[in-house]
Structures are given as structure tokens and as C-alpha cells.
Structure 1
Amino acid sequence: MTALPTFTLREPRKPDDFAQIAALLSAADPDWPVTPDLLAVWDAAHDPALYRLELVAEQSGRIVGVGHVGHDDFAFEEWRYFGGVTVHPDARRRGVGSALYGALMDRARERGAQDIRTMLSDQDRDAPGRAFLAARGFTRTWDRFESRLNIAGADLDAFDDLMDAVAAGGVQLRSVADLAGDPERDRRLWELDWQLFQDVPMGQTLTRRPLDAWLKQELHDPTFSHELSFVAVRPELNDPLTGPYVGYSTLMSNPAGFYVIGMTGVRREERGRGVAKALKVAAMRALVAAGGGEIRTFNDPPNRAMLNMNRALGFQRGPTHSRYELHLDPVTGERRPIAALQDPA
């Protein structure tokens, strides 16, 4: 029997390794491909105040696995970490994932980690990953539903009355690009984003990203479409934090050609007037004018209003993406039991 070549673990060499890492990640999850340039941008946008460890597994000069663990900037606690391990499909069952996982967990335990989180989908290709997590004591604790819509199949004329009613109510829908002349635009959107995110039922307490980190990860990210992201503006309003902005909906592009909705929401006092749906329709109409394409979005099961809205707009349910957690005793570092998510009967 011919022995398989050994592999070594090391930290990535940036930016030299980004091409191989992007190819590996895209091969492992072809539904969500990435590029070397995007990896470089995302790496530069990482908040240096938050801990992060990245490792690659190299075999005969080829990167066959990647892994990371670090603080969760969306739900920060000093003792909470988020991470993941990805092995190239043709390099699995050779101990690569186990080695990466072991090295990352050793460091997390050294730092006193009490909660390790990761995400996986319910798709067949993620079955080995789910088994990997189960064998190491991870528990599924939260679901996120992915929905998809090919804009070519949407009847956007059906929403003319909605758009007229929103306009008659004094709300203007303007693209983020159209608002570039507002010197307070970026700060106001940051404030609005934080207000809206606090009402999203994500099963965890969210933390606020600093303005500079938010700008790098949102408005300045090359995937963010300023022309296809829309803001609801009530001109007579002058809120000290958000000015006349009362809602917004964002679209980001993926290298594969589809778009992803980031945030959609309106301030509490504006809800029930169709503004959120109108924001999405405005973005969808702008996408048609730009050539069309597919839109994907994510929603949490308790967010019934948004799930129903997306269904009314023509979105169809896609994969479910689940959060898995491992809880560790702060003294011994041993696994602590955690309640598993119960599927509806």
C-alpha cells in the first residue's frame, strides 16, 4: 500500500495563499464561491481588536484544508468564539480536518473559551461535516432559512399600488448611490442598521460593530451594490441619529452572479405601512433594469412577518443553515451539555 503524503499545519501566507484558499472554499461550497480578491478585502476589514487564529493544511505544496477560530463580532463575548474547518473534497478522510480542528480547539481552550459556534447547511454535501460535529459534541441550536428568487419570474407590476401608497404616505425610496451627496449618509446608515438589527430575532444578543469596521464590512465592501440598495427617506424628519432615514434594504453581489439581501427593515414607528416590502420591490426593479439575476436571502424562523413577505414576493425556500454550538466548562475545558434545537412535529 502506498503511504499518503503527510501534511503540515501553518498560518496562511497573505496574500500569496489567497488563490489556493479561494479555490478550496469554492470547491467545497460551489453554491457560494469566493475569489482571492474578496478574501484579501475581507481580511483587511477584520477588526484587529478581536482575536482570530487562521491555519492551513499544506500537502506537497498544495493547501488541502483551512480553518479558523476567533471572536464573533456580531455577538461578542470574550469567552465566545466562532470558527470553521474546510477540507478540499478530494483530500477528505485523511485526518486533515481532525488535525486542524484539534489545533484550533487547543488554542481556544487555552484562551478560556466557553462557547464555540459554527454554521452548516442541511444539504447532502454537508452531511460529513454534520457527522464530524456530532462526533465532537456539537449541538444544533438555531436555524436560518435561505430563500431564493429568480427575478425573471417575478411580477413586479403587481406592486404598483403598494409603491403608490408608500409614496403617498410621504416616504421616498432612494438608492444608497443617490444619497452620496449627504455628508451624514454613512453615519446615519450605521445608526439605522444598529437600530434595525436589534429587532431581528436571531436567537442571540447582538453587539455593535465600530463605525470604521462596519463601513469596511458593509458600504465599502466591493460586493455591496450602492445602486441596488435602497433607503426609505421621510424628508421632513430630522432624527438626531438617523436624520430622515427610516428604513433600508441592501443587496450584495456574489462572484457567481447572484445577489444577497443583507438587511431589510424599517424603524418601529414606520412598520405596518408596506415600507419594507416597497424597499425590496424597488431593489428588485432596479435589478431588472440592470440585467436581472437571482436574489437570495436569509431569515430566522421567528421572523414570520419577513418570511411571509418574501413568500408574497415570490421567494422559494432553499437550504436551511444551522448554528452548532459546543459549550466548555471554564475551569476544566470539558464539554458541558446544551439543549438541542427541537424540530417542529
Structure 2
Amino acid sequence: MPDHTWVKLELDVKTFDASRFATYAERCREAGIRFTTLADLGDTAANRRAVYELNKECSADIPGRGAFYTFDEYLAQRIETPSFDPRGVVIAIDGDMWCGLSMSSDRRSEGFVFVEMTGVRRDYRGRGISLAMKTYGMGFAHLCRVNTIRTVHHPGNTTAIAMNRRLGYVDADWN
């Protein structure tokens, strides 16, 4: 697919009002879902494998996704890179089940944080977990000392695009 068809979105974290979305995290907590980061859980080989498996499962419904990376490709392209930081990987957990993730990379040298992937297991969708994870994950931009968060979506991924726009992301044009 040509690059110009992708939906590029950007959020100014200085103007983001997290209080508008606090009820989502509260409802998740009341339902027993907690949020943490890969850094807090431990950036171990086993946890990296668990992130991969969760990302692979959650990515299956993304329009135009195609075949998912092998584990070795995933490590090389997503984790063993200079922009990877386990503090940018938010995990939603229900009991012992990892039910969602929002993975951001540190692009502070370019002036932003990039949300690589946000996804929730099918059985957990529709509960506000994605909104809660993305809101929780905005703290990563503060850790990186940037005011901009970027993401990109296939135009057919209308649910993710709508969620990001609801959070305040606007259309952007970058190369």
C-alpha cells in the first residue's frame, strides 16, 4: 500500500486532559484489570516472548497487516533497537492473564514518542482497556521529555483511528 494512504496522527501532550478519561482506568481497576509496564514486570526473555505473543494475537485483526513477524524478526525490529524502552510497553493484566498492550518507542532524538501498537485480546475488547492503556502510557512521553506522540494506522482500522481522535490526536503530515 502506498505511504500516502496511511493515517498519520499526532497528539500534543501539553494540551491532553487525562481527567476526561480517568473513568476508563477506574472501571478497569474495579473489574480487576491492572496496568503496569514491561520495565516494572522485568524486561526478561520470558516477558519479551509474552509481549510478542500478545502483540501477535492482537495484531491479527488489523486490516492489511499480513503475516506477523517471526519471534526473531520481532526482536530485531521492535525490541533490540535503540528506540526500545521497556518503560514504554504498557501491559493490561487480569489476574495472571496479559490482556492488552500499548507499545511506544522512544524517538526523543526526533522530538516525539511513537505508539507502535495498542491492542486488546478479543475477549477483553469493548471495556475501555485501550483508552486506559493509552492514557497510562502517556507518562512515557514525559519520561522522554517530549510533548508529541505520533502513531500511524491503516485507513481500514477505523476503530483505532476513532479512539485516537477521541483522545485528541489530529491528522498530521510527516515523512
Question: TM-score, structure 1 length as denominator?
Answer: 0.47
Partner of 1:220: 80
Quick one: distance in 2 between partners of 1:162 and 1:320? 31
User: Residues 8 and 171 of structure 2 are in contact (CA less than 8 Å); yes or no, is this contact kept in structure 1?
Assistant: yes
- Return closer, same or farther for 1:178/1:271 CA change in 2, 3 Å cut-off: same
User: Residues 63 and 156 of structure 2 are in contact (CA less than 8 Å); yes or no, is this contact kept in structure 1?
Assistant: yes
Across the two proteins, how many residue pairs are aligned to each other?
174
Does the alignment pair 1:173 with 2:35? yes
Quick one: distance in 2 between partners of 1:295 and 1:308? 16
Partner of 1:152: 14
- Return closer, same or farther for 1:165/1:292 CA change in 2, 3 Å cut-off: farther
Q: Which amino acid aligns with 1:307?
A: I
Partner of 1:164: 26
Q: Could you say what the CA RMSD is over the residues aligned between the two structures, in angstroms?
A: 2.0
Quick one: distance in 2 between partners of 1:315 and 1:181? 29
Partner of 1:288: 142
Question: Which residue among 46, 67, 75 is the counterpart of 1:207?
Answer: 67
String of CA shifts for 1:53-73, please: whole Å, max 9, x gaps: xxxxxxxxxxxxxxxxxxxxx
- Return closer, same or farther for 1:178/1:317 CA change in 2, 3 Å cut-off: same
Partner of 1:81: none
- Return closer, same or farther for 1:272/1:320 CA change in 2, 3 Å cut-off: farther
TM-fit CA distance, 1:181? 6.4
Quick one: distance in 1 between partners of 2:57 and 2:15? 33
Quick one: distance in 2 between partners of 1:249 and 1:155? 19
String of CA shifts for 1:66-125, please: whole Å, max 9, x gaps: xxxxxxxxxxxxxxxxxxxxxxxxxxxxxxxxxxxxxxxxxxxxxxxxxxx7x444xxxx
String of CA shifts for 1:273-327, please: whole Å, max 9, x gaps: 0001111001113433553420111112222211111111110011388xxxxxx
Structure 2 SS opposite 1:227: helix
* Bigger RCO of structures 1 and 2 (CA < 8 A, at least 6 apart): 2
Question: Which residue among 152, 157, 161 is the counterpart of 1:307?
Answer: 161
Structure 2 SS opposite 1:214: helix
Which residues in structure 2 correspond to 1:172-191 (within 5 Å)? 172-180=34-42, 184-191=46-53
Q: Which amino acid aligns with 1:274?
A: G
Aligned-residue identity in percent = 26
By percentage of residues, which structure has more helix?
2
Question: Which residue among 93, 103, 118 is the counterpart of 1:250?
Answer: 103
String of CA shifts for 1:135-154, please: whole Å, max 9, x gaps: xxxxxxxx210000111110
Whichever of the two has the greater Rg, that structure is 1
Partner of 1:231: 91
Unmatched 5+ stretches in structure 2: none
TM-fit CA distance, 1:248? 0.3
Unmatched 5+ stretches in structure 1: 1-116, 122-142, 237-243, 322-345
Q: Which amino acid aligns with 2:104?
A: L
- Return closer, same or farther for 1:290/1:209 CA change in 2, 3 Å cut-off: closer
TM-fit CA distance, 1:217? 1.4
